[in-house]
Amino acid sequence: MEKIKRTERLVAITQFLMDQANQLIPLTILADRFGAAKSTISEDLVVLKEIFISTGQGGLETVYGAAGGVRYVPGISLGDAEEFLANLALRLSTKDRILPGGFLYMTDLLSSPTLLRSLGLIFAGAFRVRKPDVVVTIETKGIPLALATAEALGVPMVVVRHGNKVTEGPSVVINYLSGSSQRIQTMSLSRRSLAGRQRGVIIDDFLKAGGTVRGITNLMTEFGVEVVGMGVLMEASLDQGPKLVDKYLALLRLTELDYLSGKTTVTPNHLGLIANGGIE
């Protein structure tokens, strides 16, 4: 191929690695693709690694040896994450989002690819150090959030179903107590969805009492999966008593919701726990 300038090559390599996030790319592939020696590519990668770190856009991992290469790990800086969540909390703290029955409308936000990407990066930054093999969620609103997290981590996502679906094949079915409604409900997961002795992260959109997340945790036990993290976009903190789960990371907190007055208050939680995996 025609030789290109270093600045152009750096831009092209950056785009290529970001498009192949979490994938190990051999240096020979980069050298052949961009028409440069492996030693030159290695020098370029040193520059890119410094840029990624300084801008908080993730980092580069180098694997040495015959089967080695470089891997781009997507990320978001703590400052950018906190600013993003502060703005998101403001968007949610408006009276037009209150629904009858004391619910908060979030569906439009959970349908935005731009917002989901940032949320996925935040969760991935919190749980990556725990080396999860899979992200687990329950249908339906948590699916986009879990998928964004799985993409940022570079691992698969599995979806727990309400009830038992014939199309899922043989499944494990358990009953669980819904913490908010205090009703016995059913959830199931296909036996083909998970292999034993995996490490899983549970992601959901909202946590009120924690019954659903606790049910998923119990279901993971049936599969021999170790739950190494729990993350929710928002938790309710409205004097409703103790949660049924602990050691979870909630990005936002709903502290006030009054349908009659139209008063809604959503605040971002402190993100310092990201550095140690989101859980103390």
pLDDT tens column, 105-127: 999 999 999 999 999 999 999 99
CB 188 within 8 A of CB 165: yes
* Cα separation, 279 vs 19, whole angstroms: 30
Confidence of residue 272 (pLDDT cuts 50, 70, 90): low
Domains and CATH numbers, the chain: 6-74 (1.10.10.10), 78-276 (3.40.50.2020)
- pLDDT band at 277, cuts 50/70/90? very low
Model confidence at 276, pLDDT cuts 50, 70, 90, reads: very low
Mean of pLDDT over the chain: 89
Res 240 pLDDT > 70: no
**pLDDT above 50 for 278:** no
Whole-number Å distance between alpha carbons of 121 and 271: 13
Structure-token match 């996030």, residue found: 21
pLDDT 10s digits, 5-58: 899 999 999 999 999 999 999 999 999 999 899 999 999 999 999 999 999 899
Which pLDDT belongs to residue 158? 97
Crossing angle, helix 78-92 and helix 113-127, to 10 degrees? 130
pLDDT at 181 over 80: no
Q: What is the mean pLDDT of residues 189-198?
A: 91
Cα(71)–Cα(91) distance, integer angstroms:
35
